[in-house]
Amino acid sequence: KAPISGGRPTGAGKTSGSLVRWLLLGFLVLSVSGPFVMHSKSVIITDDHFINEAPRVSTPVARTLEQSSDAPTERIRKPKSAILTEPPAAATVVSTTPPKTVEQDNDADKDSDDSDEAATPPQKVEQNDVGKDSDESDEGQKANADAKDQESKDDESGDKDDEEDSNPTKDATDALIATSKAGAVWQNDHDMVHIIYSRFMQHQPNLVKLGLARLELFKTFCFPSISQQTNQQFLWLIRTDPELHPTLKDGLIDALQGMPNVAVIGSNEVKKGSVDRGWRSENATGDITEESLFYGSMELIQSYHEAVDQRTLLETNLDADDGLGLTFVERAQNLTFARFQELAASKQTTNLAFDRKDAWINLCVGRHLEWQFYAPWDKTTTKGSLHVGSTHICVTPGLSWATQPHARARFVKQHHLVKKNTPACDDPKQAKAPFLGCWVEIPVPGDDVMAIRARTPTSTGMNRVVMSESEWTPEEEATDRESWPLLDPSFAIPQPLVETSHKYLSDHLQDLVEENLKGQCTKDHSCSEGIKKKLKALFFQGGKWQNKHDLVHVVHTFHPFSALAASKYFSFEAMESQTTYEFLWIIYVKDASSNYVYRNQMTKRPEKSGLDVLVVQTDGPVSSTVDFRSPEAISIFSNHTLLYGEMSLLESFHQAAQTRTVLETQLGANEAITKTFVADLQNETAKRWQDDANNDKSWYYHCTSEYYEWRPFNPANMEEESETGFWNMVTPPKVEKCVERPGTTRIVGPKATLPSAYDALELEPCSPDEERTGCFVDTGKPDGARAMIPGLVKDKNPLKLSPRGLSLLVANQKNLREDVTAAFNVYMDKPRVRAIRDKMKKHETDTIPEPIGQQPADSSSPLESTRNLETSIAPARSNLTVTTALDTWKNDYDIVHILYSRFMQHQPNLLELGKARLELFKTFCLPTISHQTNPQFLWIIRTDPELNPILKDGLLESLQGMENVAVIGSNEVRKGSVDNGFRNKKAIADITPESIFYGNLDLVLSFQEATAGRIVLETNLDADDGLGLTFMETTQSLAKTTFEKIPSKDGWFNFCVGRHLEWQYFAPWDKNTDKGSFELGRTHICVTPGLSWATQPNAVPHFTVMHHMIKKTTPACMESNKPYLGCWMEIPAPRPQDPMAIRARTPTSTGMNGVKVTHEGGWGPRAKALDDESWPLLEPDLAISEALVKSSHKYLKDHLSLLVAENLKGQCTEDHSCGEGIKKKLKSLFFEKGSWINKHDLVHVLHMEVPEKLNLSKLFVGWEPVESQTTYEFLWILYVDPHIDRDSMNSLMKRLRKSPTNVVAFQTDQAPTTSFRDAETLTSLPTRRLLFGEMSLVQSYHEASQNRTLLETSLRANEAITKTFVGDIQNKTFDQLGQFGSSDWYYQCVSLYLEWRHETPRGVPPAHGFASIAKRPSEHCTDRPGTTLITMPEAKIPDGWTKEDSKPCGNEPRTGCYTQSGERNGARALLPGIVDVPIAYQGQGGLERVTQDQPNLREDLHENFAVERYSLREMVKTLNGID
């Protein structure tokens, strides 16, 4: 069972054919009459033939092929029987036409991708080109295939007779599989390879009911549209779970009977054309074996994989419940062929080798249909409804990836971002790099459609699934009527088949929805509560009482205004996550008639909940002693205003309660119950009543034994805030009664009578032997949770913790948070905690505050209504919010000028970093803008919607008095370079009454409206930079005069700042500086402060998006042959020495580019003179006082460690960098090199040997992992072989000079064999052998080790440790110190480690080498990478001891033994002549598994060891040179 390997079909790629092709293509290019014009008859050259195509008009080739007779102009239907009865053997005939390839289109599960809640990251597959020639003839291949099939049958016959006898469906299945495995080979008229990928029930093999429904949809929508494609030259790969239930497996294979170009694979892998070279990869067929091939021809698959070498590849995605237009394959292949031919024809040179065949594009479906199970306009529909799908994204059905042989494709992986993040291929700005990462839409004639998507309750993500109660328009109903006639001619889908599928779904709706719920949390599927809620709503028909146990369950919640924030995250989350919705939830609120915000929130959330909910106004909670079934209960509601819900719902439950057992649960707004609480309690109650009919007269309380408490503050210090709050488990004391706990439920039998008055607090525990009447029972488990909000709930159980107890509580927070999230769906992150604290600060008592706004009056104008709303609720957002007098656009130059800034986006809770950035904003940014000589512009500052209140208030306070500024709570990024800038309505789509923190919405709207017919000028300014005071005046005046020269009003260009200053926190000439230093910024690029985009009304701009590429890729306006149509102009300064911008370059910067991180560094007199000349310019040119700069410098100095630590935290947040180089630069700021330091009072030394034969200039294994450690509190000693070559030595010194660590290097044959603590070790390292570093550093660590625990880690230069290795082992050692004696010593070694070599076991040098997990039973633990000797202060190691003498540690004192880390935290590069251990795998299968796992192993090296892929590539190249 050999794996599918390289090779090409016989006759493909002949040398003579290739030579003829090149010569003839040369002649063809010489005959071209113009840049994109060909003669009337074009010739397509293949290896063996000329194919004369139909005459073409003189237009670009792509347009010719798309619109000419090559593209089908009418739907050509092949009869289904013709396709399915066609003898499979026919596929083995080798065509006399050249081999053909099929493009491949691939995507993961549509619903998972579409749903934000269910986004599933694609698996990565590394691929390498395959280029082996096949010597076998076609007849030989067929003979081999027949022999393999017979051998396989013979093997199985002896072992599985019994199994076959017991499985009546197996004979039929085997017959189908045998039929499908008839020999066949790839062929394609366009000489391309086309693969279609589908997935079916992966990771869900035994959800039979759901699978049958999905199989029904597959047979209705997917299979007909593919089996009857007008072009069958493709391979369809369907992957399904290897353990798929036989019923589903047989059904799937039966549906495919007779289709020769399809294969069903038992595999849970996800293959895509968007990652790692798709089908070209060696691993593309790694999961396809004789065992995994359920249906199809292995020979056909192999021929498709071999054919891809040197050919165009097309890969297409198709979910198993979607379909494609019958001409899709033909159109996609024609379009790909045409576009790539156009690219070749456009090369105006006789040297055809210039065509590198490296193009790569996406193909997207345009107009398509969505079939919905429901029809909102017809509740009794028997066929569902059809809708036109959205085309603003590339939808998953038909999404294709086309690549030429040498393409280095970097496809956008998420389908919904393709059109957003890549340009259209027809976009003029693509002319410089055509077809290198763009998208093109597959053409559709007239009003035809190219795909259909089934949107049903079987969907995983439930995205865009129409519900029965969804809103609809008459236009949608008309579209539905017009679409049904398209199904049969466009997709080969007859309407009766759709009606059959609809009936099947209707008949099995509840079963399949329940299984869809079960499958939500399986691997590669969403586990979102939002999706579960949508699914549960399908089979829960609310509006009246219903209960499968014949019980009546009511949950009562009193909701004061001050509980708004807490209820959002506690009671609402918990109730909406219940596994059953068969209960009535009644929420009691205080009089909200005068509080619009309160009333609005208390009705909006229930409306979306899917539950049976009533919201009632009342002066206080209803007495818990009142029986819900009593007339008094119903009369209470009739006397109050019902804010949400229907009285009929209340009456339905009340009537049902008269003859049934009633459960009444009391739940505070700040409380939660587990997700299974309602279902568990109902199940338990039903079972109790079923077991004993005498319970009808019982009544008792059911309460939690324990519950969780959450506090927003440190329980030991109420003044100290916590980012996520504090959780603790409460075992109720005697002072707290059962009925006072969260989720307490009273259970009353149908014949029970409650006393007219009783005190629930006085009830006693129920006796096991007596009838439960007026008593309580414990659940025996922690079913409740409560938020301890001061002023909302009285803290009867104040935490009284010792320092040790508090320490344990803090250490256990992560586990507690995870437990609560899993059980309650309650998770308290930073934004939620902050929201609760905000409410606490505003409403410290349980009282209704004064009205904060009135409900907006009705208005015929939606815009006017929005403005009224904004004005009315503005005071509720912040007492700093202002309504300015300036409310309309005005400009003397008739220009609309927008200034964009961003502040702490995606980093709302990095408080220390935010304070520092706010300080820089007030020093450098704000003064320069507030003092502009021309204030006729609008400054829009976007910040995180959940910005910490301290930062938010500080920002708004600093802007007080400015009328032309708006602060928006939004993480959107707006620029003038994309999407037509501020002219686009989307530019202010995120600016709403709720999101505007400061400013006037009318003013923003007026600026937007003013863009029509006017010049628009948009400027960028980071929040820590500033602009010259004449900037606005200069740019507006210059834009006005420049555009007056263009009467067509279609001009567009960039403004760039020229001379500008950069303020650095450090000063190289003054280590004690109190104000930093100035230097001139570079002008070879357009810097970000002041970068502007100017456009006229009729402009169609194609701005260069990346600022540093503008001057490189666009001409200066004075040099352009098309002036002011895509050029750049420098903004002139008033005087040559005046700066037009200033940049703050400090440790608060995100990218740290150009930021000095030390006082060290070369400088000359001119640099110092420039600094002296710059300070006097600050105030007159920028309105920045030197005193303010000094104040900011002092603030940064006083808080440097804190803000740098937070900058490190913020590096990997959204829209921010995550580079190890930046992190390294930041860590060096707060790590003081030069002497021993350790927060755990440990001494840690890393010993690294550097052997002679290493080429250090290309060895990246050892260096990056050490320099990427999360802590630098260690000494790194390198022992360099004296015979190392000069180049390696120079490379080593250069690297060490830049290292942020405490590092020294000695020239010596070997590392010392004695402990670093011994005096002998220091003697063996004399100063004369010191290559790099200071001897005082070594002495500092040596002295510190005399009376401290010492850790010595051994590494070679070809070995690596994980980025957290040092931090983890130091933390672990510190935590265990109390367990050791003062003389203990032992080794800690890694349990597993990665091995890497520059070639595969077969001797093939892959691009990134070959990684594997080392499994060497004979290898001593201490011989592994990163082995660490740990010695206590008084430990003595015997003379002559070697680490190989150590044995595993037991319970005795740790003396000369070893322990294992339990983790895979080491790696080793096996290098020729240094470490070259043979690879040992467990048979061929073991090697195949390791080969398939290469992408994951390389990702491990990258993510955990900081070894980049390019580093691996460089090492492979270097080591091949060694060989």
pLDDT in tens, 1234-1279: 788 888 899 999 999 888 766 554 555 667 788 888 888 899 999 9
| Confidence grade of residue 1227 (pLDDT, cut at 50, 70, 90) | low
* Top-confidence residue, 1230 or 681: 681
Q: Note the pLDDT of residue 1392.
A: 86
Cβ atoms of 249 and 285 within 8 Å: the answer is no
**Closest-CA residue to 1466 (of 1519, 1516, 1393):** 1393
- pLDDT tens per residue across span 1017-1042: 999 999 999 999 999 999 999 999 99
How many angstroms separate the CA atoms of 1142 and 1025, rounded? 6
Whole-structure pTM value: 0.41
DSSP β-bridge partners for residue 1378:
none
Q: Note the pLDDT of residue 574.
A: 85
Q: Give me the residue label for tokens 């970093």.
A: 913
**Closest-CA residue to 819 (of 888, 729, 899, 886):** 729
Listed range (240-244, 454-458, 803-807, 974-978) with the worst mean pLDDT: 803-807
- SS3 of 426-449: CCHHHHHCCCEEEEEECCCCCCCC
Listed range (71-80, 476-485, 1454-1463) with the worst mean pLDDT: 71-80
**Closest-CA residue to 915 (of 953, 880, 961, 878):** 953
| Mean pLDDT score across all residues of the chain | 76
- pLDDT tens per residue across span 700-756: 999 988 899 888 776 655 555 667 788 888 877 655 677 888 999 999 999 888 887
How many angstroms separate the CA atoms of 884 and 862, rounded? 22
How many angstroms separate the CA atoms of 1273 and 1353, rounded? 13
Q: Is 1022 helix (H, G, I), strand (E, B) or coil?
A: coil
850, pLDDT greater than 80: no
Cβ atoms of 861 and 976 within 8 Å: the answer is no
**135-139, 210-214, 1031-1035, 1300-1304 — most confident range:** 1031-1035
Say what the alpha-carbon torsion angle 154, 160, 161, 166 is, to the nearest 10 degrees: -140
**Closest-CA residue to 324 (of 448, 462, 211):** 448
Q: Note the pLDDT of residue 64.
A: 31
Q: Which helix (H) or strand (E) holds 248?
A: helix 246-255
Mean pLDDT (whole number) for 448-475: 72
Cβ atoms of 1108 and 1085 within 8 Å: the answer is yes
The type of residue at 1503 is E
Mean pLDDT (whole number) for 532-557: 77
Mean pLDDT (whole number) for 56-64: 29
Mean pLDDT (whole number) for 835-850: 50
**Closest-CA residue to 1136 (of 1181, 1091, 1172, 1166):** 1181
Listed range (135-139, 439-443, 1082-1086, 1197-1201) with the worst mean pLDDT: 135-139
Cβ atoms of 916 and 1207 within 8 Å: the answer is no
How many angstroms separate the CA atoms of 252 and 422, rounded? 37
Q: Note the pLDDT of residue 579.
A: 82
Extended beta strands in 1347-1425, E state: 1350-1356, 1359-1361, 1385-1389, 1392-1397, 1410-1413
Q: What is the number of alpha carbons within 13 Å of residue 365 lying toward its C-beta?
A: 32
* Top-confidence residue, 69 or 1237: 1237
How many angstroms separate the CA atoms of 1154 and 1173, rounded? 21
Helices 509-519 & 529-539, crossing angle to 10 degrees? 170
Q: Note the pLDDT of residue 275.
A: 77
**Closest-CA residue to 536 (of 652, 675, 645, 381):** 675
How many angstroms separate the CA atoms of 711 and 318, rounded? 49
Give percent of the chain with pLDDT exceeding 70.
72
The type of residue at 1357 is A
**Closest-CA residue to 1469 (of 1268, 1255, 1287):** 1255
Cβ atoms of 101 and 190 within 8 Å: the answer is yes
Distance of CA 325 to CAs 56, 217, 330, 442, 850, Å?
26, 16, 10, 11, 62
- pLDDT tens per residue across span 1313-1333: 889 999 888 888 888 889 888
Q: Note the pLDDT of residue 760.
A: 82
Distance of CA 826 to CAs 833, 998, 1411, Å?
12, 32, 41
Q: Note the pLDDT of residue 720.
A: 58
Proportion of the chain in helix, strand, coil states, percent, rounded to 5:
35, 20, 45
357, pLDDT greater than 60: yes
**Closest-CA residue to 873 (of 986, 992, 1008, 1007):** 992
| Confidence grade of residue 1299 (pLDDT, cut at 50, 70, 90) | confident
Q: Which tokens is 1083 given?
A: 């002008």
CB-based contacts of 121, cutoff 8 Å, min separation 6? none
The type of residue at 1238 is N
- pLDDT tens per residue across span 100-156: 333 333 333 333 334 333 333 333 333 333 333 333 333 334 334 444 444 444 443
How many angstroms separate the CA atoms of 924 and 918, rounded? 10
Cβ atoms of 324 and 451 within 8 Å: the answer is yes
36, pLDDT greater than 50: no
How many angstroms separate the CA atoms of 1244 and 1237, rounded? 10
How many angstroms separate the CA atoms of 981 and 1011, rounded? 10
Q: Note the pLDDT of residue 606.
A: 79
- pLDDT tens per residue across span 1145-1200: 887 666 556 555 554 555 678 888 889 999 999 999 999 999 999 999 998 888 87
Q: Note the pLDDT of residue 1101.
A: 92
Neighbours of 118 (CB within 10 A): 23
Distance of CA 299 to CAs 142, 432, 841, Å?
8, 42, 72
| Confidence grade of residue 180 (pLDDT, cut at 50, 70, 90) | very low
**Closest-CA residue to 9 (of 162, 187, 211):** 187
Q: Note the pLDDT of residue 638.
A: 60
190, pLDDT greater than 60: yes
Q: Are strands 552-559 and 662-666 parallel, antiparallel or unpaired?
A: parallel
Neighbours of 1289 (CB within 10 A): 17
Euclidean distance between the first and the last CA atom of the chain, given in angstroms as a whole number: 33
Distance of CA 109 to CAs 294, 302, 422, 1121, Å?
21, 25, 22, 49
Burial tier of 252 (Cβ tally within 10 Å: 0-12, 13-18, 19+): buried
Cα Rg of the chain (Å, integer): 36
Phi first, then psi: give them for residue 910, nearest 5 degrees: -85, 80
Q: Note the pLDDT of residue 173.
A: 40
How many angstroms separate the CA atoms of 569 and 564, rounded? 9
1504, pLDDT greater than 90: no
